[in-house]
A and B are shown apart, each in its own frame.
Chain A
Amino acid sequence: MQYALLFYTTETFDSLPPAERQEWLAQMIAWRKSLAEAGVLRGALRLAPSATATSVRRDGDEVLFTDGPFAETKEILAGFILLDCADLDAALAWAGRCPISRIGTVEVRPEHPEGPMREPGVS
C-alpha cells in the first residue's frame, strides 16, 4: 500500500545558518538513503519556497491565477515522498524517523482505497 508523507514546515530552513543547514541536510540524506535501502521509496519531490507558488481556479470560462499558495498558513507544504509500506505502523515509523518531524510536521496519508481514478467499466 502506498502512503504519501507530506512535509509541512515554516520556511525557516532556508534561513538557517549554513553549519546547521549542512548538519540537517546530512540527516535528511541519510534518512532518504535508508528508505531507498529498505526498498520502500517510490518517489519524492522537494518543493521551492511557497513564494513561487501559483494557485489556479476556474470560474466559468475564466481561469483565475493567484500568486501564492492555496492557503496562507504558517506551515507550508515543503515537499513530499511516496512510500510503499505494509501498513500504517510501518509508514508512521518512517515518518517518526524523518528529520523534518523535529522541525515541522509530517502528515501521513494513505492512498485512496479504490486506487487511482479510472474510467467507469475499465478495471
Chain B
Amino acid sequence: MTGVAGGAGHAALEQIVREEAGLVLAALVASCGDLDLAEEAFQDAVETALERWPRDGVPQRPAAWLTTAARRRAIDRLRHGAMRSGKSAALRASELARLAAREDEPDPEQAAVPDERLRLIFTCCHPALAPEARVALTLRTLGGLSTAAVARSFLVSEVTMAKRLERAKQKIRDAQIPYRVPAPDAWAERIRSVLAVVYLIFNEGYTATGSSDADRRALCAEAIRLAGILAALLPDEGEVHALSALVLLHDARSDARVGDDGSLVPLDEQDRARWRHAELGAGLAALQRAAHCPGRGPYQVQAAIAAAHATAPSGAETPWRAIAALYAELEAIHPSPVVRVNRAVAESRASGARAGLALLEPLALDARLHARLAAYQPYHAARADLLRQAGRRDEAREAYARAIELCRDESERRFLERRRAESRANGSSGPARHR
C-alpha cells in the first residue's frame, strides 16, 4: 500500500475514519442493500484499519480502502451466516451475488467510491420513521458517530439509544423502506424531512450551553458538516443552501451568546468582536447561493433574519423593520405562535410596544391555542416586557409572574425578576429580549 508514513496518532486515524464513514457506509448499503450488515462489516474494516494503518501508513484513498475491506468482510459474514440479524438463505445468496460482482473490479482500492450518501440520508430521514430515530440514524450512519456518542448527545443511556437504532433498522428492513432518492411527486415532503433532521441536530447542540455539554455542542459542527454535504449533493436546492447558511450564521455567534456568568446574551447586546467572522462570511455566501435558486422557503427566510442581525454594524443599528417584515413572511409560510411572538418583538423594536402587543393579542383570543400558549414561556416573557414598556403595570406584573413560573433557565429567571422589580418601580427601561 502506498501511503502517508505512519506516526499519525490513534485519535487522528479515528478522525479520518469518521470523516469517511458516511461515504463508505452509503456505498456498502448501496451494494448489499442491508444497513445492519453494512455497519457490521464497516466496523470490522475499521478495526483492521486501526491495526494496520499505524504500521503501514494511511492509504492514499482511505474511503476506497475501507470500502474494499468492508465489502470483503460482508462477503465473509454472508458466507458464514455470521450476521446479528437472521436472514433467509435466499436473501443471503442475492446479497452475496451483488457484493461479489464488485469484487472483480481491477484494483478496487484505487477505484473511486461512488457517492451514495444521498440515498442513505433519504432513507435515514424517511417520514415513516419516528423523528428521534431519524436523527439518531443520520448521526450514526452519515455522521459516523458511535452509538455511545449519539446516546450522550441526546442524554439517554447507550442501551436506550441502541434499542432505538435497532428498532429503526428493523423497520427499514421489514417494511422495506427503500434506499432510493425519492420520486419527484414525493420530493418536497421528503427533502423537508431531511432538512428538519439536520436542523434538529443543530438545535440540540445549540441549546446546550453548559461547560459539561461538549458532546452535545459537537452536534452543531456535525449539523454544519451534514448541511455542507447536502448542499454539495443537491446544488440546485435552495432550501439546502439556506439551511447551511442558517446553521453557519447561528454557530458563528455561539461564543458571544453566553455571558461570563453563564447567562444568555440577547443578540443585539452581544459583543460582535467575539463573532467568528469567517463563519459568518461562509453563511452569507451560502445564503447568496440559496437566493440564486428558484423558490424561497422557510429556511431562506430564517437565514435572511439571521443575516440581517449579522450584518448590522451594531446592535443599536439592527434593521428591526426589515426583520419584522421577514417574520411576517415566515408566518405566512408557517403560521405558529413561536413565529408570531418573535415577529411581535421585532415589530415592537421597529414601531413601539403597542405595535408588538397588537400582534400578540390575537393569539390569546384563539381558543385552539389556549393550552399551548398557557405553557409557552417566551410568549409570557415577551408580553410582560411589552406591557411594561406600554406602562400597563398590573398586567405586566401578572405576565412576569407567569413567565417566571414557567422559566427553566436560571439566568433568564434572574433577568425576568429584575425586570419585574423595575416594573413595580416605574415605567419603561430597555426593550424586550430577542434571540
What is the count of residue pairs linking A and B with beta-carbon distances less than 8 angstroms? 29
Cβ-defined contact, B186 with A88, below 8 A: no
In angstroms, Cα B186 to Cα A92, docked, is: 10
Q: Per-position contact with A for B156-194: 1 when CB-CB < 8 Å, else 0?
A: 000000000000000001111110101101100000000
For A21-50 the 0/1 string (1 means CB < 8 A from B) is 000000000000000000000000000000
Q: Is B148 part of the binding interface, using a Cβ–Cβ cutoff of 8 Å?
A: no
A87 within 8 A of B: yes
Give the size range of A's interface with the partner: 10 to 19
Complex-state Cα separation, A110 to B183, whole angstroms: 21
Within 8 Å of chain B (Cβ to Cβ): is A63?
no
Contact assessment for A113 and B173 in the assembled complex, using a CB-CB cutoff below 8 Å: yes
If over half of A's interface residues share one DSSP class (helix, strand or loop), that class is named, otherwise mixed; here it is mixed
A89 adjacent to chain B (CB < 8 Å): yes
Across the interface, do B173 and A88 meet the contact criterion of CB distance under 8 Å?
no
B128 at the interface (CB under 8 A from A): yes
- Could you tell me if B174 and A113 are in contact, using CB atoms closer than 8 angstroms? yes
Assess whether A19 is interfacial by the CB under 8 Å rule. Answer: no
List, in ascending order, chain B residues with CB within 8 A of A89's CB.
Answer: 177-178, 180, 182-183, 186
Give, as a whole number of angstroms, the nearest-CB distance from A10 to chain B.
Answer: 20
Nearest-neighbour CB distance to chain B for A28, whole angstroms, equals: 21
Whether A93 sits at the interface, judged by CB under 8 Å, is yes
Inter-chain CA distance A99–B180, complex, in Å, is: 27
Nearest-Cβ distance from residue B125 to partner chain A, whole angstroms: 13
* B186–A87 CB distance below 8 A: no
Please state if A92 and B174 are interface contacts (CB–CB under 8 Å): no
List residues 269-322 of chain B with CB under 8 A from any CB of chain A: none
- Contact between B186 and A93, CB atoms less than 8 A apart: yes
CB-CB < 8 A to A112: which residues of B?
Answer: 174
Q: Mark A1-16, 1 if CB is under 8 A from B, else 0.
A: 1000000000000000
Let me know if A92 and B128 touch, CB within 8 A. yes
Q: Which of B178, B183, B185 contacts A88 (CB 8 A)?
A: B178
Contact A110 B186, beta carbon cutoff 8 Å? no
B178–A110 CB distance below 8 A: no
Residue picked from A1, A86, A110, most chain B C-beta under 10 Å: A110
Q: Which residues of B contact A88 (CB under 8 A)?
A: 126, 128, 175-178
Q: Which residue of chain A lies nearest to B173 when distances are taken between CB atoms in the complex? A: A113
A120 to chain B, nearest CB (A): 15
* Bound: A87/B175 CA distance, A: 7
As a 0/1 sequence over residues 92 to 107 of chain A, the CB contacts with chain B under 8 angstroms (1 = contact) are 1100000000000000
B178–A87 touching, CB < 8 Å: yes
**Complex interface: chain B residues within 8 A of A93 (CB):** 185-186
Q: Which of A53-110 contact B (CB under 8 A)?
A: 86-89, 92-93, 108, 110
B92 to chain A, nearest CB (A): 14
A87 and B176 alpha carbons, distance in the complex (Å): 5
Chain A neighbourhood of B182, CB < 8 A? 89
Give complex CA distance A108, B182 in Å.
Answer: 19
Chain A contacts of B126 at CB under 8 A?
Answer: 88
**Chain B nearest CB, measured from A116 CB (Å):** 14
Q: How far is the CA of A36 from the CA of B174 in the complex (A)?
A: 25
Residues of chain A lying within 8 A (CB to CB) of residue B128: 88, 92
A-side contacts of B174, CB under 8 Å: 110, 112-113
B418 to chain A, nearest CB (A): 49
A113 to B180, CA, bound (A): 20
A110 to B128, CA, bound (A): 12
Minimum CB–CB distance from B35 to chain A (whole Å) comes to 14
- Known interface pairs A92-B128, A93-B186; A87-B173 also in contact (CB < 8 Å): no
- On chain A, the residues within 8 Å of B185 by CB distance are 93
Which residues from chain A contact B186 at a C-beta distance below 8 Å? 89, 93
User: What 1/0 mask marks residues of chain B from 116 to 131 whose CB sits below 8 Å from any chain A CB?
Assistant: 0000000000101000
Residues of B within 8 A of A108 (CB): 175
Docked CA distance A64–B361 (Å): 58
Report B398-431 residues with CB < 8 Å from chain A CB: none
* Cβ–Cβ contact A110 & B180, under 8 A: no
Q: Report B-chain residues with C-beta under 8 Å of the C-beta of A110.
A: 174-176
Known contacts A88-B126, A88-B128, then 6 further A-B pairs from the complex at CB < 8 Å, ordered by chain A residue: A87-B177, A89-B177, A89-B182, A89-B183, A108-B175, A110-B176
Name B residues whose Cβ lies closer than 8 Å to a Cβ of A: 126, 128, 173-178, 180, 182-183, 185-186
Pairs A-B, 4 closest by C-beta atoms: A87-B178, A110-B175, A87-B176, A113-B174
17 A-B residue pairings within 8 Å (CB atoms): A86-B176, A86-B178, A87-B176, A87-B178, A87-B180, A88-B175, A88-B176, A89-B177, A89-B178, A89-B182, A89-B183, A93-B185, A108-B175, A110-B174, A112-B174, A113-B173, A113-B174
